[in-house]
Amino acid sequence: TVGFSAPRLVTKKLLANSQSEGDGAVVRRSIGRPELKSLDPFLLLDEFSVSPPAGFPDHPHRDCYLHGAVTHQDFAGHKGTIKAGDVQWMTAGRGIVHSEMPAGPGAQKGLQLWVNLSSKDKMVEPKYQELLSEDIKKAEKDGVKVKIIAGESMGVKSSVYTKTPTMFLDFTLSPGAQMHQPIPESWNSFVYVVDGEGVFGSTGSSPIPAHHVLVLSHGDGLSIWNHGSKPLRFVLIGGQPINEPVVQYGPFVMNTKAEIEQALQDYRYGKNGFEMAKHWRSQ
């Protein structure tokens, strides 16, 4: 029998309201909020806006993630500034302590995504992949522009290596443009609308405005239409589920409660990857 694949449709739509996070920062949390605790392998997606003196001071991670538009420094001396349009894909693995502070006056905006690591990768050495805006693969056709942060679109592949198969595509559709993006059938996927409004899944459905997250059903891909009068900007994120138990305590993400208790102990006493956490403070 031939299984006909179906198009992916919107199965859940939520507005990500602003909430405070870090030290005086504001985030719109979509994945990771109570109604959307996780969409395996994704644990959190924050649309952040942070102006000095607010920020995300020294804090640990034992998981994986990326973001844009902030100055970061970690306990191993790795530091840098991610400007608008740049990407930092950091694999925290066994442990990172860092600060993420706005890189200049005025509101610095961006997205932070937390992708879970499979148990075999949770204790890997931390690793950074940093791409300047000009290094990020792009493609454009018939009013559709895409920045390929991870995965592939329009025949162009990202150079970012991900521990598990992942796509992170940043689309801008001109008014009147439409497109279809193939998504591997077994992946979980969602859309986060950043600006403008768009029709997702079926052409008859109502337009979805900014700051909404759309969970998609399984199927072979997603169709999108921009029937509006301004550009539609959204990210399409998808990944192979890890199918392991998730026990999360803030930025610590493990498989069991015991491993979380171990992570907290390691962080408190500077062990198993948190050795430099003992005396380090960001400048």
Ligand X SMILES: Nc1ccc(F)c(C(=O)c2c[nH]c3ncc(Cl)cc23)c1F
CA nearest to 237, candidates 18, 12, 44, 21: 44
For residue 171, which amino acid is it?
A: F
Residues 72-111 vs ligand X: string with x where CB under 6 A?
A: ----------------------------x-----------
Residues 6+ apart with CB under 8 A from 140: 146
How would you list the strands of the sheet with 208-209, edge to edge? Answer: 178-182, 221-225, 197-200, 208-209
Please state the separation of Cα 211 from the chain's center in Å. 14
Residue from 112, 162, 188, 226 touching ligand X (CB under 6 A): that is: 112
Q: Which two tokens stand for residue 104?
A: 């200049």
User: By CB under 6 A, which span of 19-27, 137-145, 209-217, 266-274 interacts with ligand X?
Assistant: 19-27
Name which of 21 and 40 has its Cβ closer to ligand X: 21
Q: Is 77 exposed, middle or buried (0-12, 13-18, 19+ CB in 10 A)?
A: exposed
Name which of 67 and 163 has its Cβ closer to ligand X: 67
154: left (phi over 0), alpha (psi -120 to 50) or beta: left
**Which position has the token pair 């403070």?**
281
Residue from 10, 16, 48, 226 touching ligand X (CB under 6 A): that is: 48
User: Does 252 engage in binding with ligand X (CB under 6 A)?
Assistant: no
User: Does 189 engage in binding with ligand X (CB under 6 A)?
Assistant: no
Residues 6+ apart with CB under 8 A from 134: none
Q: What letter does residue 76 receive in the DSSP assignment?
A: T
User: Does 130 engage in binding with ligand X (CB under 6 A)?
Assistant: no
- The partner residues of 98 in beta bridges, in order of sequence, read 59, 74
Q: Which two tokens stand for residue 96?
A: 């990172």
User: Does 250 engage in binding with ligand X (CB under 6 A)?
Assistant: yes
User: By CB under 6 A, which span of 20-28, 174-182, 201-209, 238-246 interacts with ligand X?
Assistant: 20-28
Nearest-approach distance from CB 197 to ligand X, in angstroms: 24
User: Does 116 engage in binding with ligand X (CB under 6 A)?
Assistant: no
Other Cβ atoms within 10 Å of 35 Cβ, number = 8
Residues 203-242 vs ligand X: string with x where CB under 6 A?
A: ----------------------------------------
Residue from 26, 27, 208, 232 touching ligand X (CB under 6 A): that is: 27
Residue from 59, 94, 127, 227 touching ligand X (CB under 6 A): that is: 59
Binding site for ligand X (CB under 6 A): 21-22, 27, 46, 48, 56, 59, 67, 70, 100, 112, 250-251
